[in-house]
Amino acid sequence: MQIEEQLKYSNFVLHWAKNASQYAWQDFQNVTTRRQFSKITNIGTAAMEDAEKQQKLQKVIARMKTVYSTGSVCLTNSECLPLEPDLVRLMATSRDYDELLKVWRGWRDVSGKLMKDDYAEFVTLSNEAINMSGYRDTGEYWKSLYESNSFANDVEQLFLQMEPFYQQLHAYTKSKLKEVYGADKFPPTGHIPAHILGNMWAQTWSNLQDILEPFPGKGSMDVTDELVKQVTHLDEHVTRYYNL
């Protein structure tokens, strides 16, 4: 049923994209209206009009989602844990190096390895569909959603600005983690083993608060007033830009 509903949705957005394309919306003077038409016509993989290939694409996406959501890691013969919430919680709270490594590797064995062929098929079908929307590949389409013609350069410049701070944060984090796990667990390349960063994907380190807190028990800085100030400024900027 999920595939059928997704196919209906794809047909729906394709239908309205075709309707919107009948207008010379790129010449509209109103910025908000022009942006709305841009969103309606930028439909991603729904541009694939070949019903059989569209169905193949939705099936392969559904299979990958199933693998991702149903995979589990067995710590013992009688204890097998799913990703949500058990493995996510374990990665956040365990400080057992070997246990974390087993879970990290185990999860990838029951997810990534099983999706390898499906993902290759997804890339082929997705890129073919995206080509019909005028993009070189799916990556170019995804970047278009940020609505910036200089997105790659924007990200690079942001990275360069943050790099000195990140290097200091990385060095501090590594030194604190060495105190917990021992220096012998860290490679000479200077990297931090991904499985001890408190997250299945090593994408956020907030679960290491108990290890990284520089002044235990002192609490965190209250930045509420500054956040309100910045959000208010952003709202004013967006309002002026889009003539709202």
Q: What is the pLDDT of residues 180-203, one digit of tens each?
A: 999 999 999 999 999 999 999 999
In a domain, residue 85? The reply is: no
For residues 207-228, give the mean pLDDT.
84
For residues 52-69, give the mean pLDDT.
92
Integer Rg of the chain from CA: 23
Give 125's contacts (C-beta < 8 A, 6+ positions apart). Answer: 45, 48, 53, 56, 57, 60
- Per residue in 98-120, pLDDT (tens digit) is 999 999 999 999 999 999 999 99
Boundary of a domain, candidates 94, 120, 146: 146
Give 20's contacts (C-beta < 8 A, 6+ positions apart). Answer: 37, 40, 41
In a domain, residue 105? The reply is: no
- Per residue in 80-100, pLDDT (tens digit) is 999 999 999 999 999 999 999
Question: pLDDT value at position 170?
Answer: 96
Q: Please work out, in degrees rounded to the nearest 5, the angle formed at the alpha carbon of residue 217 by the alpha carbons of 214 and 218.
A: 70
Q: Which of 83, 65, 82, 92 is nearest to 6 (CA)?
A: 65
For residues 35-50, give the mean pLDDT.
87
Question: pLDDT value at position 242?
Answer: 60
Q: Which residues pair with 82 in a beta bridge?
A: 72
Which helix (H) or strand (E) is 154 found in, with range? helix 151-181
For residues 146-159, give the mean pLDDT.
92
Domain count for the chain, please give it: 2
Quote the domain boundaries for residue 211.
153-241
